Structure 1
Amino acid sequence: MQIKNFMVNRSLKELTQHRTAELPIACYETVIKENIYGYIPLHWHEEIQFVLIIKGEAIFQINEDKIVVREGNGIFINSGCLHMVEEMKQSGCVYICLNVSPHFVLSQELYTTYVTPYIQATNLSYVFVDANDFWGKNILDAIIKIKQLIERKPQYFEIDITMQLTIIWKNLIFNGFHPEYVQAEMLKSQRMKQMLSWIQLNYTEKVMLEDIARAGGLSRSECCRYFKRILKKTPLSYVTDYRIQKSLILLQQVESNVTEVAYQVGFNSTSYFIEKFRKSMNMTPLAYKKYKMDDC
């Protein structure tokens, strides 16, 4: 089942419990445009994630990198990495998403040697999985098999899933990936999450660049460099985008009105809210509200 409006905590960590009733694993199809925001917003989770595009194409942003993944191919996103997904060229993108607790990948005896170095590696935020590569096809085929096992639940399906996970992990790490750990890179990631956390807690109030920088223990200029490098925008532009994102949920409430929503998400001017909303969503807040009401 697709998650259309997943919740995140103050550091943008996704709060969804990625598991079935039996296992710490979740596998579902995602239609990007059916998300409440029209895309998959910035977030992270402790689970590792494997994606297989089954229709269209998508742009994945993982930390500061952007990569296009087309139908038939996939991508691995490592634990703790900030990421978001947008549909490319209105392609009607649909993908299978497999989220797995790292502790479930291999047995405890093998975990320290064959899992820990990779999920902690600062040079391994993602891996493009090409169906034309033998190892890539093995991973993508295993994702499909796991999805089928979860749906059909044949006898001993839990054991079969663990076997498929072993195939996925072996093919991922046995193909020339050498994990590296750089403390400075880990610190950058932590600081970015601290600043995003502060914004999420305070976006309804007046937000100053100095406040965001202070949350990450950075100067104003360093703060701007972090946002430009990772999110390709200024800190205050991100705040505006985040406010627009939060307004989408409020506008879908029957009793809400545009002016109230504008102030609830931190804008001190209705006209400025409308201007920024139109630029982001290609329609006014009122038009969006009517569109969503008609869609109910």
Structure 2
Amino acid sequence: MTSSKPIAQNIIDGTIFEIKLTEDLEEQINYHFEDYAIAIFTQDYHHLRSDYIPIHWHNALQMIWVYQGSLEYQINNKVITITENSLLLINNKQLHSSKTIDQNANVLCINFDLNFFHPKLLTAHVEPFFEKNPFAYYLLPLSLEQKVKLSEWIDSQKPALFSVIAFLTMLIEHLLTHYDAATKNNEENEIAVFNQMLQYIQKNYRNTITVNDLTSCALINKNTCTQLFQKYTRLPPIKFINKHRLYIAQDLILHTNKSISAISEEIGFNQVSYFVELFRKNYHLAPLQYRNKYRVQTNI
């Protein structure tokens, strides 16, 4: 499966779309079923290209099936490995990111709202469960029959809405009957504080950002700031900021003809040599070498 953009291909109508995040790191999703907030798409990760999806959240639930390879997901402060044998369900408004481990990976995703349930069923059973159990994620073992069903949707131009809703209903039913309340998310306030700092970075990455800037925006001290970044990104604050800048640089290198010096300045690096050094360290090639090796010439 090929694409002109790294990662994220819409399979309902065959169009390819870029991952776009708002200033508060919400991913923008295109929903294609009339009257239902359901989106189905694939994500292709190229390991040698160092593809990953940075930390973000959705105002919807997301079901993930890694049907080829394996991926490492970080959901809030938890790190898990996902393969073809399990479905991952991520609750709405949970911070998460994903990256390859040692090989390419291919993913089928369904982002969805719960409005496909009958209103009475939703009000009486489904919504009370989600209000009582603010879980971050849930893992569901997959049967061979379920894998076959999901496989049919990978290359489908438009899976049957009834079939998709039936599968999602099964998924939610399993959640309601098997969920262990001990795994619920108890860190909502902490995540909200951390998200304030992420939003500050998203809005200001083109400028110089210090740890003091982050602590001021979140009204916390330096130790708490560092602890939160280590907990939710496994990186110190400044290293995370630079990683965020490099992710944006990766897209600009692959999909524009801008010079490396212009890209360096655009993403907040004052010295091109430092930018090149960091990019090589993270992506294993200098920026120009990376562009020449991985960009799709027909789309530049």
2:212 alignment counterpart: 210
Q: Are residues 150 and 101 of structure 1, via their aligned partners in 2, closer, same or farther at CA, if it must alter by over 3 Å?
A: farther
CA distance in 1, matches of 2:129, 2:286: 45
TM-score using structure 1 length? 0.84
The one-letter code sitting in structure 2 at the alignment partner of 1:216 is A
Tell me the SS of whatever aligns to 2:187: helix
Equivalent residues of 1:142, 1:168 under 8 A apart:
no
Tell me the SS of whatever aligns to 1:266: coil
Q: Are residues 209 and 38 of structure 1, via their aligned partners in 2, closer, same or farther at CA, if it must alter by over 3 Å?
A: same
Instruction: State the number of aligned residues.
Output: 285
CA positional deviation for 1:72: 2.8
CA distance in 2, matches of 1:99, 1:269: 40
The one-letter code sitting in structure 2 at the alignment partner of 1:60 is Y
CA distance in 1, matches of 2:50, 2:131: 31
Deviations 1:198-238 (A, max 9, x none): 10110111101111122222111111111111111111111
CA distance in 2, matches of 1:115, 1:93: 33
Equivalent residues of 1:139, 1:167 under 8 A apart:
no
Q: Identity over aligned residues, as a percent?
A: 21
Q: Are residues 22 and 116 of structure 1, via their aligned partners in 2, closer, same or farther at CA, if it must alter by over 3 Å?
A: closer
Deviations 1:162-218 (A, max 9, x none): 333222211122014338877x72211211211111101101111011111222221
2:285 alignment counterpart: 283
CA distance in 1, matches of 2:276, 2:208: 18
1:109 alignment counterpart: 120
Equivalent residues of 2:33, 2:161 under 8 A apart:
no
CA distance in 2, matches of 1:127, 1:253: 35
1:86 alignment counterpart: 99
Could you tell me which runs of 5 or more consecutive residues in structure 2 were left unpaired when the two chains were aligned. Answer: 1-8, 11-15
1:168 alignment counterpart: 171
TM-score using structure 2 length? 0.83
- The yes-or-no answer on 1:147 pairing with 2:153 is yes
The correspondence of residues 38-49 of structure 1 with structure 2, limited to 5 A, is 38-49=51-62
Deviations 1:231-290 (A, max 9, x none): 111111111001111112222355411111111110111111111111111111121222
2:180 alignment counterpart: 177
CA distance in 1, matches of 2:18, 2:236: 25
Deviations 1:68-92 (A, max 9, x none): 11223221111111111112211x2
Tell me the SS of whatever aligns to 1:42: strand
Among residues 58, 75, 86, which one is paired with 1:73 in the alignment?
86
CA positional deviation for 1:40: 1.9
Could you tell me which runs of 5 or more consecutive residues in structure 1 were left unpaired when the two chains were aligned. Answer: 132-136
Tell me the SS of whatever aligns to 2:67: strand
CA positional deviation for 1:294: 6.4
CA distance in 1, matches of 2:32, 2:250: 28
Equivalent residues of 1:59, 1:87 under 8 A apart:
yes
Tell me whether 10-19 or 247-256 shows the greater mean CA deviation. 247-256
The one-letter code sitting in structure 2 at the alignment partner of 1:220 is K
CA distance in 2, matches of 1:180, 1:69: 18
CA distance in 2, matches of 1:71, 1:17: 25
CA positional deviation for 1:119: 4.0
Equivalent residues of 2:37, 2:112 under 8 A apart:
yes
Tell me whether 70-79 or 122-131 shows the greater mean CA deviation. 122-131
- The yes-or-no answer on 1:241 pairing with 2:213 is no
- The yes-or-no answer on 1:11 pairing with 2:24 is yes
1:31 alignment counterpart: 44
Q: Are residues 8 and 143 of structure 1, via their aligned partners in 2, closer, same or farther at CA, if it must alter by over 3 Å?
A: farther
CA positional deviation for 1:18: 3.6
CA distance in 1, matches of 2:155, 2:100: 28
CA distance in 1, matches of 2:184, 2:81: 26
Cα RMSD of the aligned pairs, angstroms, is 3.0
1:125 alignment counterpart: 136
The one-letter code sitting in structure 1 at the alignment partner of 2:150 is I
1:134 alignment counterpart: none
CA distance in 1, matches of 2:184, 2:88: 21
1:95 alignment counterpart: 107
CA positional deviation for 1:53: 2.1
The one-letter code sitting in structure 2 at the alignment partner of 1:96 is L
Q: Are residues 117 and 188 of structure 1, via their aligned partners in 2, closer, same or farther at CA, if it must alter by over 3 Å?
A: farther
CA positional deviation for 1:61: 1.0
